[in-house]
Chain A
Amino acid sequence: MSRAWVRWVPAAAVPAVIAAGVLAGSIPARAGDPLPEKTPAQVLALLSEHGTKTLSGTVEQTSELGLPELPNTGPSSGPASAGGLASIAELLTGQHTARVFMDGPKKVRIQVVDRLAERDLIRRDSEIWFYSSRDNSAAHLTLPAFARDLPLPAPLPEPQFAPAQPDREPSAPKPASPPEAGPPDARMAPDMPKPEYLLPAPVMPRPEYSTPSPIDLATKLLAAMDSSTQVTVGPDVEVAGRAAYNLLLEPRTQGTLVGRVAVAVDGETGLPLRVSVTARDQAEPAFQTGFTSLSLSRPDDSLFTFVPPPGATVKELQLPLPGARPWPITSGFPGSPGMVITPDAFVEAGRSHTVPAMPRPTVTGAGWETVIGFPAPPAGQASMLREALLKDPFLAQAAVVVPGGRLLSTTLVNVLITDDGRIFVGMVPPERLQAAAGAVAK
């Protein structure tokens, strides 16, 4: 038995080989051809110029926002069936995977991959379908023939909604729509934080109206941003197997929760591949969404055809009246893949469009320190809203009582719901929200 130890060599060697393989795989090896050097303005231009129309890929989103984790009670019952704010919160905690297929802006399919379940959004031209496998329900929506008929804010930036270009971007953790992703767009106006955006900007259908020259735009944007934000290009990164520029946006102010926003811009096409937002003094991103695999070939056309399966409950959704001002929780362009894919949320958003004469939100502060305040709804609804918010089991659990109201605190965004029904949102410390609430009250 003197050679007995030889027999154990494989038992020691195999784990060693596996460990070595894992280590080798985790090292961001980027020995290949480095991308040509580019200035931030050139990268911004590359980003805004990208004309990627067809793609299929897998997007992974991770959030460590500090929201309470919802108990996952196994494969059968998920938080998605809970509805309400919990389903939004569910998309904001932990990790989510979605598959994206796109063939031009008018053919889009997004599949949010849950364990043993799936939520789908399918768009073909003006037909939009939602499907949730959990309860086998589908919802259908027909868009008007012309984009301008959509009940969106007017295409031109309004002072109230879009004070200045650079202000747009710090106003909300919208990694899905970095400011330079497209032409000026009122949809990106500062409103409620839209962390529910699940997907990076490439899949956002680009509006049809005119586009200034990307280089001009990028330069202007950069100049406008420079006072509040330091824009640099970091070392190249590799995302979904592609070499990418790493555009880094760092707020110059200390008065925001955001430490850094990093956008990985594909070196070849200019497609944004990954967006990550890191909170101040944190090492790991608090929110990250990006491709894990990507193919730029045209997806199979049959993917964009959806017929409700037999036995499914089908709901027909009505678009709200054109011209109605969307309530702050607007989910964006119907069909913009970033929105939460729950018919309920959509209907909810649609219903709130019809709320008559919603007062306009107030904006205090500028740049990264912007605080948006939503006035209390009219007298009758104020108590209703408060009741609803307080009754929501998720909110009851997540919001803490602070002087003057309740605070929903995350690592990137704070939301203050005052006792009189006003809501203040900002990527700022809670004290600033309370100060804003106090100032507006006076």
Chain B
Amino acid sequence: MPSSVPGELSNRLRRGRSDGGQSSDGESGAVSGSASTRDRAASSVPLLGSELNVLFRRRRTWAMLLALAAIPVLIAVAVRLSSSVPAGRGPAFLDRIAQNGLFVAVTAMLVSVPLFLPLTVGVVAGDTIAGEASLGTLRYLLVAPAGRVRLLLVKYAGALAFCLAAPVTVALAGAAIGASLFPIGPVTLLSGDVVEPPEAAVRLVLIAAYLAVSLAGLSAIGLFLSTLTVVPVGAMAATVVLSVVSQVLDQLPQLEWLHPWLFSHYWLGFGDLLRQPVLWDSFASNALLQAGYVAVFGALAYGRFVTKDVLS
């Protein structure tokens, strides 16, 4: 979006230099904690605020979130208009929607896991560094009192914020459209136990958190790829392709030894949060795996970015 460059840039530089930490996002705590000194921490907060501000003011970000929100709407409307879905057909939980609107959110999250969420996250993560480089703003960001490491961290934090926003959007839109088109009542878990809507809402939040964690590794990969190029589309496409490749490899029984190491391996494991009692194993394994990916690709991105000649 070349037309918006001057506005974005001036906005960012202004906010980057201002002292009042007016970040309104909870993510800032994590990032300031990782900065080494108090000074740095103090100046990271406005930098992060500006990053989030730019990210969530972008029309592209809004378009992606709207597209994600459209998934549950489409599912709900389709189920509403069609006759009842026979049990056991279509994606899991689809047959439960007509009885309980909250399942729209679950079904929509399930449907968006293989492609839509990685796609949008890939766009955001692939754009982090390469986008600035292609706009010629990377130089200015590095001139501003922000070290490369801090810029990398802030960029990654922004991508993580989107990782959280994306599934939350799907869940909220799903719950909203489900509540308006279908009755809301006690929710049947996979174990056959029934929980009341408030607890079901907690489970939905947990699923969204699970998906956010699931996408952290992909974001780190996107961040690294983004430091390799000045063409953001290349980094985005490569990130999305990698997510598809990982899922394809996960389907091949010949590569069974590799499966636990694929970052997409636990993506559909969020069903474990719908059991009674909640089975935390997959959440823990997933978090550990994603932390490994974040560490590896974070280190790679660091190596690449701090040794890189920034020419644009």
Residues of A within 8 A of B (CB): 1, 4, 7-11, 13-15, 18, 58, 69, 75-77, 81, 99, 111, 113, 115-118, 120, 129, 131, 133-138, 300, 303, 306-313
Contacts and interface: CB of A to CB of B under 8 A. Distances in A.
20 contacts: A1-B307, A10-B299, A11-B303, A18-B292, A76-B90, A77-B89, A81-B88, A111-B275, A113-B275, A116-B110, A116-B271, A118-B275, A131-B191, A131-B192, A135-B88, A136-B188, A309-B192, A309-B193, A310-B185, A312-B192
A3 B296 CA distance: 21
B95 interface: yes
B7 interface: no
A306 B276 CA distance: 11
Interface residues of B, number: 40
B150 interface: no
B303 A306 contact: no
Contacts of B5: none
A306 B95 CA distance: 22
B295 A18 contact: yes
The listed residue with most A CB atoms (<10 A of its CB), out of B92, B192, B269, B300, is: B192
Nearest to B301: A11
A240 to B, nearest CB: 13
Contacts of A138: 192
A117 B190 contact: yes
Interface in B99-138: 99, 110
A7 B302 contact: yes
Q: Which of A14, A69, A303, A313 has the most CB of B within 10 A?
A: A14
A149 to B, nearest CB: 28
Contacts of B74: none
Contacts of B298: 14
Contacts of A14: 295-296, 298-299
A329 B290 CA distance: 45
A171 B158 CA distance: 62
Interface of B: 87-96, 99, 110, 185-186, 188, 190-194, 253, 268-269, 271-272, 275-277, 279, 281, 292, 295-296, 298-300, 302-303, 306-307
A283 to B, nearest CB: 15
Contact of B303 (A10, A69, A113, A134): A10
Contacts of B95: 136
A215 to B, nearest CB: 39
A77 B268 CA distance: 14
Contacts of B292: 18
A18 B272 CA distance: 26
Nearest to B88: A135
Nearest to A17: B295
Contacts of A308: 192
A137 B301 CA distance: 50
Contact of B307 (A8, A13, A58, A117): A8
Contacts of A117: 92, 190, 271
A307 B191 CA distance: 11
Residue among A115, A116, A310, A311 having the largest count of chain B Cβ atoms under 10 Å:
A116
Contacts, number: 104
B277 A135 contact: no
Contact of A7 (B185, B281, B303): B303
A77 B190 CA distance: 15
Contacts of A9: 303
B190 A18 contact: no
A136 B296 contact: no
A7 B99 contact: no
Contact of B277 (A81, A131, A300, A306): A300
Contacts of A11: 296, 299-300, 302-303
Nearest to B261: A22
The 3 closest A-B pairs by CB, nearest first: A131-B192, A309-B188, A10-B299
Given A7-B306, A117-B271, A133 B192 contact: yes
A13 to B, nearest CB: 7
A133 B191 contact: yes
B155 to A, nearest CB: 17
Contacts of A77: 88-89
B307 A7 contact: yes
Contacts of A311: 96, 99, 188
A210 B59 CA distance: 77
Given A134-B88, A311-B188, 4 more contacts: A18-B292, A76-B89, A113-B272, A310-B188
A303 B191 CA distance: 10
A337 to B, nearest CB: 15
A75 B268 contact: yes
B299 A118 contact: no
Contact of B96 (A10, A99, A136): A136
A241 to B, nearest CB: 14
B271 A115 contact: yes
Contacts of A4: 307
Contacts of A116: 92-93, 110, 190, 268, 271
A8 B299 CA distance: 8
A7 B96 CA distance: 53
A111 B190 CA distance: 10
Given A4-B307, A75-B110, A118-B190, A310 B99 contact: yes
Contacts of B87: 134-137, 313
A133 B92 CA distance: 10
Contacts of B275: 111, 113, 118
A10 B188 contact: no
A92 to B, nearest CB: 15
A136 B85 CA distance: 13
A181 to B, nearest CB: 27
B295 A75 contact: no
Contacts of A118: 190-192, 275
A26 B80 CA distance: 51
A289 to B, nearest CB: 17
Contacts of B110: 75, 116
Contacts of B277: 300, 303
